[in-house]
Amino acid sequence: MDKWHPLANIALEQTIDKILLQTEKEIESSIDSALSDSNQTLDDAIPKLEQEYDKIIADGKKEADKIEKQIIGSADIEARNKQLLALEESVDKVFVKALDEIANTDRSGDYTNLIKSLLDESTKILGTTEVLVSTNSKDRDVVQSALSGFPGSELSSDTIQCIGGVIIKSKDGAMTFDNTLDARIERLKPLIRKDIAAKFGVNN
């Protein structure tokens, strides 16, 4: 087996050391480069991450505001519906009580004048006193008496169902006007309801 010359061994060792040193430097350089690249990538990513963070916060705030408005809006609608329901119930009670009082009022004095006014208004609207007048059984005598002031008018033999007032029909059958108290109240009901709602600050 041949033996290496001592000088050859030294040269080999020096060559190996040189290669190892060069390799070490290359590795260190690669590590430094990779670290630098990583730092740069991180630095580049930070503004974008901050933007995304701000966007997430802003979107979350918008969504929270939206939900808050929805909750407040629903509460407002619910409160308004309760107000309207309470108002409607109160108005209905007032009308029921008023109708009951009218139905049981004495058919003389002011009521007689009321019937005359209803007849006068009705014949003016129809433009003739040649009319057939219908009323309920309770008002027949009052109406019959009042018709003396309306020449050509006639009291129908049939009675109608109402709390008071008259229905007037021209004798040729072409025109009819419902001037019962029931009809007048129904016509006035929306206005009365609106006035009551305004007094209680409820937009109807």
Whole-prediction pTM value? 0.58
Residues 79 and 129 in one domain: no
Residues 55-98 pLDDT 10s: 999 999 999 999 999 999 999 889 888 888 888 888 788 888 88
Segments forming the whole domain that contains residue 130: 106-200
Residues 120 and 49 in one domain: no
Q: Is the pLDDT confidence value at 198 over 90?
A: no
pLDDT at 58: 93
Structure tokens at 105: 């009022």
pLDDT at 1: 47
Query: What mean pLDDT value characterizes the chain?
Result: 88
Residues 117 and 24 in one domain: no
- The average pLDDT across 7-17 equals 84
pLDDT at 179: 95
Q: Is the pLDDT confidence value at 33 over 50?
A: yes
Single residue among 69, 104, 139 that ends a domain in this structure: 104
Residues 86 and 185 in one domain: no
Residues 38 and 80 in one domain: yes
Residues 122 and 98 in one domain: no
Single residue among 104, 138, 171 that ends a domain in this structure: 104
